Homo-oligomer: A and B are copies of this chain.
């Protein structure tokens, strides 16, 4: 089902980059939860553009406006809907996309899928702009999880292959009019043992489904991930030990998940982001009539979206966990 997530909760994201607003509806959140709106705003600002030299200066003013489900900052039990107005949209910048799909974007696939009726302006519904409503939902979920002692933290592991001085890679790409991707690591602590359902609704399945909802994600691995495919079972197995009467594991190659279910150890995963497809360099490509064109993506774009993606990864993870927990 397009743009929705969840079975116990339901998160439904709507809006296009250059429509009047983007937003989200969340069903299944219990009544009586007090939302810290200042914290939510701070959380949203981590994702918002224009807050650092590494991100696009387009200032969006990502303030969520709650239109249902919340009375005086307290949830009232009915579906929560919040929208963010799209103020600063210059549709004129995007006229060219109507004719010529940008490499690395969803312009072409959306064009075919929707028979030419897609909202192509700024990528429409496929824009990174749609991670703003994801972060509204995620910011709420994170507050609920923290109330249960569960904490989620995403960090930059490397950018452009550089783990030592990652931000130098952004400067370098920016100078060239190019872009760069990176890898984000995420850790979730405080998760009780037993969260996750067998086979298709385990933690890996659900987190992966959520995280691939962030544009530019091309890979995910849990615990030791791809590296575990290269070591022996005796090295990879995490043996149990007993600490203060609780079973834990001595090592954490399994990343806190066994059989899709939380083991009580920190849940760890890494996410690979491809470089931003919007670059200032000229690209030799073709338009929908098959004619060769030299495309130069207009406007100013992030040379790297990885720093702004951290709250998105946290939001996706929080959403998956809230959906698997019995919070009602």
Q: Which residues of A contact B (CB under 8 A)?
A: 1-5, 7-8, 10-16, 19-23, 25, 27-28, 31-32, 67-69, 71, 74-81, 83, 101, 103-106, 108-110, 112-119, 124-126, 130, 158, 160-161, 173, 176, 178-183, 193-194, 196-202, 204-206, 208-210, 212-213, 215, 217-226, 228-242, 245, 247, 249, 253-255, 258-263, 272-279, 281, 283-286, 288, 290-291, 326, 328
Contact = CB atoms under 8 A, between A and B. Distances in A.
24 contacts: A2-B27, A2-B79, A4-B200, A10-B12, A14-B68, A15-B78, A31-B118, A77-B125, A78-B119, A78-B198, A104-B237, A106-B261, A110-B259, A173-B233, A178-B232, A204-B217, A208-B209, A219-B219, A219-B226, A220-B220, A226-B226, A229-B272, A239-B283, A326-B328
B223 A212 contact: no
A233 B106 CA distance: 15
Nearest to A259: B106
A126 B197 CA distance: 10
Contacts of A69: 14, 16
A180 B236 CA distance: 9
